Amino acid sequence: MPILRLEMRAGRTLEQKRAFAREVTRLAVDILACPPDSVDVVITEVPHENWAKAGTLVADQ
């Protein structure tokens, strides 16, 4: 029973998240030989003010 976790900056649409969940589930089923209902996908969105890159908050870029 795989749990696939994605952390990303906030801002993707609901349709983009649906498509991601659908496709990674399909790939997990194909590659890991598991049933689709055993695959969990957890998407965590991080607000820009809580994300830094190269020492600078993304909100400040």
CA end-to-end distance (rounded Å), the chain: 39
- Going by the DSSP 8-state scheme, the letter that residue 10 receives in this structure is S
Catalytic, 2? Answer yes
| Residue 32: other Cβ atoms inside 10 A | 11
> Of residues 2, 35, 36, 47, which has the active-site annotation?
2
Closest CA to 39 of 14, 22, 60, 17: 22
Q: Which residues does the annotation mark as catalytic?
A: 2
